[in-house]
């Protein structure tokens, strides 16, 4: 839509709204208040800060509820006082009362009371800050790296947890329930911020710095979040999900992530897809274990064409059910609902089933391969690359034929 078209639409809309309320200021107030109330009523909002699902978020919640109450009461008192004064001392033509300056007793009281309230709040707040900053009780570490516009997760070797070689994935962070996980967060390009409201507060991802964030989930399930530091064009599409699995399910997930690469069988569509992948995609995307025709390992070099120096590792693409910064589902709506709404006892099994062919969200995946920047705003047009020395921010348009896309989809489906 062109600029002017937007403009006209907006104006028409505003005019009609104005007309609606022109003679009914009460209606306006009512509507505003109504939408506020309705907006706060969403029961199953997945990013609701008032519904903690783990001890860290609980600590925050226990602090924020009473403070919110105190602030609410103070707010009400102030509002009531203002309204009282406005009505009581309305100008009815009465003479202006005698003007005085200074009233020490009153001023001191009005300074001390808020100071006391703030002091009490501060004591509890500091307690919470220190609790949330603890790192010495960590049971598991996950490195989190942000870049425009997706998150990468890598799991350092932790033999007690069955991680004997580093695991790398993106979009969905998978962790065991009831485990004190410590995220070590950094960034490859600009500042991002990691936030899973149900599990903890926010933590900035700053290039060159490693900042920690505790995460622990009580129940298996999916916990959604999104980047909360404006980071450029597709900031709004930089989402993430945390998947909590029971300890057994997590062990299964870990084992699968470390499984060896299995090349597709000869003479299949997938095998042809593998060679398209080697030609078109491997310069950015790593698939661990993938070899070239001459047997040498295919090592991606995203640093040569992507500004952040990274592109998602696709080795086990089909083990996650979102892609492109969790902006798109990798599974169809129906299959997705089955996972999201699964009860916690069967959730793990549903999630671990991965993406089967009949569940694949063909539409979005194909649209992505056909022309990624058309479905997620990214800098890939050569004229936009001056500032980054010719490097892309995001995945570029690759001008693939439909034939190649068919092959690629068949191949990607083998990356379990």
Partner 1 sequence: MFSAGFKYFIGLTLLSVVALIMSIVVLDQVALAGTALSMLIVASALLTGLLVVTRDGDTQRPQSASTSEVPGQSMWPLVASIGAVFLVVGLVTSSVVFFGGVVVLIAALAEWMVQSWSERASSDAGYNSVVRKRLLNPIEFPVLAALGLGVVIFSFSRIMLSVDRSTGASLFIVFGALVIIGGTLFAIKPDIKRSLGAAICVFGALGIVAGGIAGSSFGLREELVKARSEGHFSHPECGAERSKYFDKNATGTLSLRSSINATIEFVNGQLTARVVGFSKPQKSITVPRSTPTNIIFRNLETDEFRLVADLGEKSDTGTYGDTEKILVCTQMTVAGGEQELTLQIEKPSSSGYSYNLTVAGVEGQRIEVVVP
- Can you give the binding site for ligand HEC, defined by CB under 6 A? 149-150, 170-171, 280-281, 283-285, 305-306, 311-312, 314, 317, 323-325, 369, 376, 392, 394-396, 398, 400, 408
Q: How far apart are CB 147 and Cu ion at their closest, in Å?
A: 8
Helix (H) or strand (E) holding 176, with range, is strand 172-176
* Closer CB to ligand HEC, 246 or 361, in the complex: 361
Q: Which of 59, 142, 224, 227 binds Cu ion (CB under 5 A)?
A: 227
Q: Which stretch binds Cu ion (CB under 5 A): 15-23, 84-92, 189-197, 365-373?
A: 189-197
Omega before 149 cis (within 30°)?
A: yes
Is residue 301 a contact residue for partner 1 (CB under 8 A)?
Answer: yes
Q: Across the strands, what pairs with 47?
A: none
Q: How far apart are CB 147 and partner 1 at their closest, in Å?
A: 9
Q: Please count the other Cβ atoms lying within 10 Å of the Cβ belonging to residue 279.
A: 10
The three-state secondary structure class of 214 is strand
Q: How far apart are CB 85 and ligand HEC at their closest, in Å?
A: 54
Is residue 238 a contact residue for Cu ion (CB under 5 A)?
Answer: yes
Burial state string for 11-48 with b = 16 or more CB within 10 A and e = fewer than 16: eeeeeeeeeebeeeeeeeeeeeeeeeeeeeeeeeeeee
Is residue 39 a contact residue for partner 1 (CB under 8 A)?
Answer: no
DSSP code per residue over 322-335: EETTTTEESB-HHH
Question: Out of Cu ion, ligand HEC, partner 1, none, which partner does residue 231 contact, by CB within 5 to 8 A per kind?
Answer: Cu ion
Q: How far apart are CB 168 and Cu ion at their closest, in Å?
A: 19
Please name which of 370, 362, 367 lies closest in space to residue 335, comparing C-alpha atoms: 362
Q: Using CA atoms, how far apart are residues 193 and 325, in angstroms rounded to an integer?
A: 13
* Closer CB to partner 1, 278 or 367, in the complex: 278
Question: Out of Cu ion, ligand HEC, partner 1, none, which partner does residue 291 contact, by CB within 5 to 8 A per kind?
Answer: none
- 109-138 residues in contact with partner 1 (CB under 8 A) are 135-136, 138
Residues 6+ apart with CB under 8 A from 360: 330, 331, 332, 409, 413
Is residue 207 a contact residue for partner 1 (CB under 8 A)?
Answer: yes
CA distances from 184 to 137, 153, 213, 320 (A): 14, 10, 7, 21
Q: Which of 64, 125, 212, 256 binds partner 1 (CB under 8 A)?
A: 212
* Closer CB to partner 1, 200 or 332, in the complex: 200
Q: How far apart are CB 382 and partner 1 at their closest, in Å?
A: 17
Residues 6+ apart with CB under 8 A from 103: none
Is residue 255 a contact residue for partner 1 (CB under 8 A)?
Answer: no
Q: How far is CA 24 from the centre of its chain?
A: 41
Which positions lie near Cu ion, rule CB under 5 A? Answer: 192, 227, 231, 238
What residues make contact with partner 1 under the rule CB under 8 A? 135-136, 138, 141, 143, 145, 152, 154-157, 166-168, 182, 184, 186-188, 206-212, 286, 288, 297, 299, 301-303, 308-310, 313
């Amino acid at each position: 839509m062109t600029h002017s078209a937007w403009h006209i639409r907006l104006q028409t809309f505003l005019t009609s709204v104005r007309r609606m309320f022109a003679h009914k200021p009460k209606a306006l107030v009512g509507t505003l208040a109504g939408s506020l109330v309705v907006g706060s009523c969403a029961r199953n909002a997945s990013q609701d800060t008032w519904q903690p699902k783990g001890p860290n978020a609980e600590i925050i919640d226990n602090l924020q509820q009473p403070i919110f109450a105190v602030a609410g009461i103070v707010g009400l008192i102030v509002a009531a006082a203002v309204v009282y004064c406005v009505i009581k001392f309305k100008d009815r033509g009465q003479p202006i009362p005698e003007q005085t300056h200074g009233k020490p007793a009153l001023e001191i009281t009005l300074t001390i009371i808020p100071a006391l309230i703030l002091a009490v709040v501060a004591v509890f707040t500091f307690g919470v800050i220190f609790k949330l900053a603890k790192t010495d009780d960590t049971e598991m570490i996950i490195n989190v790296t942000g870049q425009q516009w997706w998150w990468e997760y890598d799991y350092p070797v932790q033999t007690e947890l069955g991680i004997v070689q580093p695991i790398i994935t993106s979009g969905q962070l998978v962790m065991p329930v009831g485990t004190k996980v410590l995220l070590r967060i950094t960034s490859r390009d600009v500042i991002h911020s990691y936030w899973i409201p149900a599990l903890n507060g926010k933590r900035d991802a700053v290039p060159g710095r490693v900042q920690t964030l505790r995460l622990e989930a009580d129940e298996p399930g999916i916990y959604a979040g999104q980047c909360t530091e404006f980071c450029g064009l597709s900031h709004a599409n930089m989402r993430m999900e945390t998947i909590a699995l029971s300890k057994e399910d997590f062990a299964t997930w870990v084992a699968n992530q470390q499984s060896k690469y299995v090349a597709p069988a000869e003479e299949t569509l997938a095998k042809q897809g593998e060679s398209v992948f080697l030609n078109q995609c491997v310069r950015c995307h790593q698939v661990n274990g993938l070899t070239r025709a001459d047997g040498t390992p295919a090592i991606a070099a995203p640093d040569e064409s992507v500004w952040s120096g990274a592109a998602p590792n696709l080795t086990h693409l089909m083990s996650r059910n979102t892609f492109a910064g969790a902006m798109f589902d990798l599974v169809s709506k129906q299959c997705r609902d089955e996972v999201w709404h699964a009860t916690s006892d069967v959730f793990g099994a549903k999630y671990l089933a991965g993406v089967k062919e009949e569940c694949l969200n063909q539409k979005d995946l194909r649209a992505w391969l056909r022309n990624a920047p058309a479905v997620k705003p990214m800098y890939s047009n050569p004229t936009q690359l001056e500032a980054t020395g010719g490097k892309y921010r995001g995945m570029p348009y690759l001008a693939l034929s439909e034939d190649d896309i068919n092959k690629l989809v068949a191949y990607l489906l083998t990356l379990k």
